[in-house]
Amino acid sequence: MLQISQIVTEKERVIEGLKKRNFPNVEQVLDQAIALDEKRKSSQQSLDSNLAEANALAKEIGGLMKAGKREEAEAIKSKTAELKSASKELAEAKDQVEKELLALLYTIPNVPHPSVPSGNTDEDNEVVKTVGEAPKLHAGAVPHWDLIKQYDIIDFDLGIKITGAGFPVYKGKGARLQRSLVNFFLDEAVAAGFSEVQPPIMVNEASGYATGQLPDKEGQMYHVGNENLYLIPTAEVPITNLYRDVIVSEDQLPIKHTGFTPCFRREAGSWGAHVRGLNRLHQFDKVEIVQVCKAEDSYKALDDMCNHVASLLEKLGLQYRILRLCGGDIGFTSALTFDFEVYSAAQEKWLEVSSVSNFETFQANRLKLRYKDENKKIQLLHTLNGSALALPRIIAAILENNQTPDGINIPEVLVPYTGFDKI
């Protein structure tokens, strides 16, 4: 959530950035926020003035009673009661304005970093770098949705029977490959200095608002109605919320966590050939990395996290490219996002496998996640997160790119985890 002080003092920069996002009626929305803030401050001043006058009068009453000036004391009591009644009305009005301002601020996305390119869709994203070469497959190579049937390692029909579309069942060496990737990703993250946590996979409404999934992505999350809980779309949500309403010590920074969880997304939209098989699921496994750090350190942290994701893809032997997301495609909460895509040789297309983002103070302001600087001044921190990595499309690329006429070769780095080198 943007700070109202940021909107007031940096209004032109905020307008320019939100226009890059194609945010509608930006000037009107910001003017409305500023007007509500002025009304809030005016209400607060009136309330403070009333309370101060009531307190001053209350102190006079005792002296007047001692001096035998009962009538004057009773008159002041009556005036104090009027002020208290007026103060109650002012407090209620102030609370209402604050709620209106907060509701409006929740609808305003983050201001993109200056390096974010303009654009409307994913076609306008900027390719930053491409690494590796596309594998040359043998004649008769097939996409992963045929391979998983041929080798009986992932079963979509069973998933439909048990739950519905988008909930596959991993079997035999398919299940072992999945578990091996999770362990490999976690081990690599821990080696890179991330502390492992195992968070809940359901969160309450406050957690959803704190990291920006609510109210923006409410329709994309599975809701458990009776308890008013949400199945997580990513481990970013519970891990970042570990620090909601916390003032951390400066010597704790940077905070680096990794966690493995299943993730759940309703993924509203069309289903067709471009999202067949593992390309889009309602439930999938993912290892996440999260950082909390000072503002001056956050873009170096973003680079480090991108390098970490790149190292995983290189160790798996996958061709990949890095995209800088444009204003029209970047997430609601993000200031700057880099997407990683791997090349699927059998499908002849790029598959997104990771997003690494810097949210600057946007999440921290919602979280009330702060620290005391060397001058003992309270400052908001920066939060970052990245997929390291999401498994379904990684598995799809491994299966497709490593297929041979007599089986699927397992990347060498995974063999100690799988216990086999071929499916």
- What percent of the chain lies above the pLDDT cut of 70? 98
pLDDT band, residue 107 (cuts 50/70/90): very high
In this prediction, residues 221-242 reach a mean pLDDT of 96
Backbone phi, psi, residue 122, to 5°: -65, -15
Contacts of 342 (CB under 8 A, 6+ apart): 313, 318, 319, 320, 350, 351, 353, 393, 394, 397
Q: Decide if pLDDT at 65 tops 80.
A: no
In this prediction, residues 112-135 reach a mean pLDDT of 96
38 marked ligand binding residue: no
46 marked ligand binding residue: no
Rg of the chain's alpha carbons, rounded to an integer? 27
355 marked ligand binding residue: yes
78 marked ligand binding residue: no
353 marked ligand binding residue: yes
pLDDT band, residue 103 (cuts 50/70/90): very high
User: Could you give the C-alpha distances from 107 to 24, 29, 132, 334, in angstroms and in order?
Assistant: 11, 9, 41, 14
pLDDT band, residue 164 (cuts 50/70/90): very high
In this prediction, residues 386-402 reach a mean pLDDT of 97
Give me the residue label for tokens 């930006």: 26
CA proximity to 45, closest of 109, 1, 101, 97: 97
Q: Decide if pLDDT at 62 tops 90.
A: no
Backbone phi, psi, residue 180, to 5°: -65, -40
Q: How far apart are CA 390 and CA 310, in angstroms?
A: 13
Q: How far apart are CA 363 and CA 160, in angstroms?
A: 36
Beta pairing partners, 261: 286
409 marked ligand binding residue: no
Q: How far apart are CA 173 and CA 40, in angstroms?
A: 61
Instruction: Output the pLDDT for position 66.
Output: 66
User: What domains can you pick out in the chain, each with its CATH number?
Assistant: 4-105 (1.10.287.40), 122-418 (3.30.930.10)
219-229 residue pLDDT tens: 899 999 899 99
218 marked ligand binding residue: no
What is the reported pTM? 0.92
- Contact indicator for 40, 97 with CB cutoff of 8 Å: yes
383 marked ligand binding residue: no
Q: Decide if pLDDT at 270 tops 60.
A: no
In this prediction, residues 364-391 reach a mean pLDDT of 96
Q: Dig out the tokens for 398 from the structure.
A: 């491994």
Enclosing H/E stretch for 62: helix 26-66
> Which of 63-72, 123-132, 146-155, 318-327 has the weakest average pLDDT?
63-72
Instruction: Output the pLDDT for position 336.
Output: 98
Q: How far apart are CA 306 and CA 86, in angstroms?
A: 56
- Contact indicator for 254, 300 with CB cutoff of 8 Å: no
82 marked ligand binding residue: no
Higher pLDDT, 80 or 407: 407
In this prediction, residues 374-395 reach a mean pLDDT of 96
249 marked ligand binding residue: no
